[in-house]
Each structure stands twice: as C-alpha cells, then as structure tokens.
Structure 1
Amino acid sequence: MLNYWQTISRVSATALLVLGLSDLALNNPAGYDASAIAQTSRSAQARAIARLKSSGQRWIEIRVRSQRLLAWQGNQLVYGVKVSTGKSSTPTPIGVFNVQTKYRTARMRGEDYNVPDVPHVMYYSGNYAIHGAYWHRSFGIPVSQGCTNVAPDHAAWLYKWAAVGTPVVVN
C-alpha cells in the first residue's frame, strides 16, 4: 500500500472529523491526533472538497498545477487569484490543512533567504503559508520556497476573509 502520509505539523483530530475524514484520522500511522496530513490520496481530497462544498463554510483551494488560489463559501466561488507555489526543488505540500496562525507581517528565513516584513501571512502547515510577496511579480509560475505567494493586495483580502481554522486544500 502506498504511504500518503508525511508528518509536518500538528492539528487536532477534530479538524479531520469536521471535514468528515475520520477514516484518515484513524488510519494515520503517526497517531490519531498527533499529525497533520501533508499528503492525502486523491480520493480523500475529493471527499474533503465535496464535504466543504456542501458545508457552506469558507475554505481555500490551492491548485498547484494551474497556479491558482480559489476562495470558496461552500460551493460558491468568491475569489480567485494567480499564485506562485513552490518550485520543483522546494515543492508546496499537497493535502488537507487548516489555517493555524495569522500574522499581519512576519520575517521569513531559510537557508538562502531572509525576507523582512512579509505581509498577511497565514500558516497552514509547519513553515508553509499563504502570504503576500512584494519581491516578485511572477504569479502564475512556481518560484517560491514552498509557500503560496500572492500579490500583496490579494493577500490582504484573503487575510481579512479567512479565519484561523479555515480549511486549506492543496491539490
């Protein structure tokens, strides 16, 4: 059997149950409430999307292949923008997550970058976030270190619209 799991960050089993994904929580080899899902099967993602669309709640979908971020209220598309997800050497993780923390601005650091005043940061899995990017205009092209880069004005809108706990589906 293929391993669709990778532990990156912590979420509660409640988040999985709310999405109707109790089977994923129960079958998580890292433990029922210990780890987020960083990679899920396509069928599990499809089930999560179907449940979110029928729920009426706000949720975010990041489509890596088309470099698009879609903001949904149930099955109603309310906002869509071009983004830049991770380049091939630093891919954006695929899976079902939740916005964990939000910062109006943050410093982001890695081995080969140190960027101050990154606007409208919403972490959804470990160090992976949706955030504004003022240092490039390559939206629609995967150029990031793994985060989902959005133009600053769009990041501001998303930051106001999404609350901590908002589901994020990356596919």
Structure 2
Amino acid sequence: MYEEEPVYEPPPLSFEGRWIDVNLTTQSLTAYEGDAAVNTFIVSTGTWEHPTVTGQFAVYVKYASADMSGPGYYLPNVPYVMYFYEGYGLHGTYWHNNFGVPMSHGCVNLQTDDAGWLFDWAAVGTTVNVHY
C-alpha cells in the first residue's frame, strides 16, 4: 500500500495591529489592521536579476524624501521611503507607470499617492511580510 508524504502547511499568518503584506506573485501590497484588509495597491517589485527579498521584516526608518542610487541609476528626491531590510524599501515612484510588472532593483515601487497613504498609515516598527 502506497502512503503519501504528509504535506507541510505553514500556519496562517496572524499579526496584531497594523502590518503590510507584499505579494510578489500578484504584484500587490495590502495594508492590514489585524486580520482586516484596509487598503490594497498594485506595485512593481524586483526583477529576476534584482529580486525583492522574502520574509518577515519591520520598517526601520522613514523618509518623506530620499535620494536613491545604485549601479547604473541615480534617483533624486524619491518620495515616501520606508526601508524594511538593508537597502530594500517601500516608496513612491515617479520614473515609471508600469505597475503590476516587476521593474525595480528590489524595492517595492508604489504610485506616489499610494505611497503617501501608506507612509502616513505605517509607523517605524510596522511588520512587512513579503512572499510569493
């Protein structure tokens, strides 16, 4: 008799307070208060060459505006920047309007108005859950 291997199902996420969920598969970000979704946005995350990190992090610093640079790019005055892991952040984007498609060097790009809403809503310490 053949027995199937048990399939591991991770427990459902349960965060208290405000938290942010970034779904890399659907290119979407949802802001939650407890188990209730309060807002959802279409985003652009990292490309296969520059993937967005996955895991559970926390916003560690917020800037109303910041310069960003890396190999081959310099972006002055990026609006509503919230870093959650090393140089990875959530922020507004003025250099493209192709949301829903991976476009970044690993950050989570939001439309500027959406990033402003999120910036005002989230605090330093807010959990950021990034997954496929």
Deviation at 1:79, TM superposition (A): 0.4
Counterpart residue identity of residue 97, structure 1? F
Corresponding position of 2:66:
106
Number of equivalences: 123
Percentage identity across aligned positions?
A: 44
Select which of 30, 46, 52 maps to 1:70.
Answer: 30
Q: Equivalent residue for 2:116?
A: 156
Give the distance between the partners of 1:88 and 1:112, measured in 2 at CA: 17
Supply the AA of the counterpart residue of 1:124. Answer: F
AA paired with 1:82? I
For the residues of structure 2 that align with 1:143 and 1:136, how far apart are their CA atoms? 9
How far apart are residue 152 of structure 1 and its match? 0.2
Q: Deviations over 1:42-98 (max 9, x none)?
A: 83xx55x2x21xx2x000000001000000000110000000000110000000000
Whichever structure has more helix as a proportion of its residues is 1
1:122 and 2:82 aligned: yes
* Larger fraction in strand: 2
| Correspondence 1:60 to 2:17 | no
Q: Deviations over 1:18-49 (max 9, x none)?
A: xxxxxxxxxxxxxxxxxxxxxxxx83xx55x2
Please, which runs of 5 or more residues in structure 1 have no aligned partner? Answer: 1-41
- Opposite residue 38 of structure 2, the aligned amino acid is V
What is the TM-score normalised by the length of structure 2? 0.91
Residues 98-127 of structure 1, C-alpha deviation per residue, up to 9 Å, x if partnerless? 000000000000011100000000000000
Secondary structure in 2 aligned to 1:90? coil
AA matched with 1:75: D
Question: Computing the radius of gyration over CA atoms, which structure comes out larger, 1 or 2?
Answer: 2
Which of 98, 102, 105 is the matching residue for 1:145? Answer: 105
Quick one: distance in 1 between partners of 2:36 and 2:56?
19
| Structure 2 stretches lacking a partner, 5+ long | 1-8
Q: How big is the alpha-carbon RMSD for the aligned residues of Structure 1 and Structure 2? A: 1.1
Q: Which has the higher contact order (CA 8 A, sep 6+)?
A: 2
